[in-house]
Amino acid sequence: MLKEYFADHEGTAVLSTADAQGRVNAAIYSKPHIIGEDEIAILMAARLNHANLQENPYAVYLFLEDGPGWKGKRIYLKKSREERNTELARSLIRNKHGHPEAVDVNLVYFQVEKILPLTGGEK
């Protein structure tokens, strides 16, 4: 389901995390890498969202589809593991400008806990 969805839709994504004290951060991200029906992976630099995930494993990935209206998904996530500067992580860098081997990159895996539409859904 997620693999087909992201293959068929373009848009803007925001990943939101919170630290151990509940201070929230949100940042723009690219599409996730779909590992399985209930697992995704996201490439992350060592910035605030990545630091937050070291303290609090929960995140929300919000995807706003291009086009008119408010269409998209909210994907509720829990970090399961990560790898740093691996061959796989470097091979997934979509922006091939420069030298991927010079980039410090974390490939963070998440279990998908819940998927809701962009608007509406559960209370």
Q: Which two tokens stand for residue 74?
A: 């909210």
Burial class from Cβ neighbours inside 10 Å (0-12, 13-18, 19+) for residue 123 reads exposed
Cβ–Cβ < 8 Å for 40, 1: no
Average pLDDT over the chain reads: 90
Domains of the chain: 2-117 (2.30.110.10)
Residue 62 reports pLDDT greater than 70: yes
pTM, full prediction: 0.87
Q: What is the mean pLDDT of residues 81-97?
A: 75
Which amino acid, 36? G
DSSP annotation of 26: E
Average pLDDT over residues 64-91: 91
Residue type present at position 94:
R
What is the pLDDT at residue 3?
Answer: 94
The tokens describing 20, both together, are: 């151990």
